[in-house]
A and B are shown apart, each in its own frame.
Chain A
Amino acid sequence: SQTIHQWPATLVQPVGSPLSLECTVEGTSNPNLYWYRQAAGRGLQLLFYSVGIGQISSEVPQNLSASRPQDRQFILSSKKLLLSDSGFYLCAWSGGGSVREAFFGQGTRLTVV
């Protein structure tokens, strides 16, 4: 069966520090991968998605970037964090093509102080 791992679960970082969140998927190949952000009490906003290695599309302009160095690895990064980057970050995967179901990781709670 497929599983998605996301770490760390919580992170407290000072303003101006770098960020690296990692997500890996097991049990499938060539998945579509996604990074979402969830503000407190709000819905999820798509930040980045990837349909293959090195292929990244950004949905909204921001202080973050994403990379996909391996087929089942998706990384969310920032060179200098802002207070507004605080939130709950969720990685998700789907099978691609006509397979529409998307499955989420357990999330990373990022607090920028």
Chain B
Amino acid sequence: QQQVKQSPQSLIVQKGGISIINCAYENTAFDYFPWYQQFPGKGPALLIAIRPDVSEKKEGRFTISFNKSAKQFSLHIMDSQPGDSATYFCAASRETSGSRLTFGEGTQLTVNP
């Protein structure tokens, strides 16, 4: 059972554009939603995270939007740059499981110059 569904699988954006990646979850017990950025051959790096008591969190060019009623959250990358080209993973965990993360399948983002 895939508890976190991520889309699209791949995304091509022009430099300066907005990249949007979406995730949907099933388990209403999830209460922590991080996004990770992974470059080829490297481990994932924590990018930004949100908890369900807020609807939006912004850090620099990266914004998470969270819709608790729809059980959906998304990552927006403003002013996308070629250096943002990477694979992005959404994830979720619940308090009783600590930091055991359930991951989405990933989105390969390519930002063309």
The contact string, 1 if C-beta is below 8 Å from chain B, for chain A 38-76, is 000111111001010000000100000000000000000
**Contact between chains at B42 and A51 (CB < 8 Å):** no
- A to B contact number (C-beta, < 8 Å): 63
Judged by DSSP, the binding face of A is: strand
The interface residues of chain A lying within 8 Å CB-to-CB of B106 are: 41-43
Contact among B32, B34, B44, B49 with A90 in the assembled complex (CB-CB below 8 Å): B44
**Contact between chains at A42 and B98 (CB < 8 Å):** no
**Contact between chains at A44 and B98 (CB < 8 Å):** no
The interface residues of chain A lying within 8 Å CB-to-CB of B57 are: none
Q: B73 contacts the other chain (Cβ, under 8 Å)?
A: no
The interface residues of chain B lying within 8 Å CB-to-CB of A6 are: 43
**Contact between chains at B99 and A34 (CB < 8 Å):** yes
**Contact between chains at B89 and A107 (CB < 8 Å):** no
The interface residues of chain B lying within 8 Å CB-to-CB of A32 are: 98-99
The interface residues of chain B lying within 8 Å CB-to-CB of A42 are: 105-106
CA–CA, A6 to B101, complex, Å?
Answer: 19
CA–CA, A32 to B98, complex, Å?
Answer: 9
Contact among B32, B41, B98, B102 with A107 in the assembled complex (CB-CB below 8 Å): B41
Q: A94 contacts the other chain (Cβ, under 8 Å)?
A: yes
CA–CA, A103 to B34, complex, Å?
Answer: 11
Q: B18 contacts the other chain (Cβ, under 8 Å)?
A: no
Interface residues of A (CB under 8 A from B): 6, 32, 34, 41-46, 49, 51, 59, 90, 92, 94, 96-97, 99-107, 109
Give 6 CB contacts A-B under 8 Å: A41-B106, A43-B104, A100-B93, A100-B98, A100-B99, A107-B43
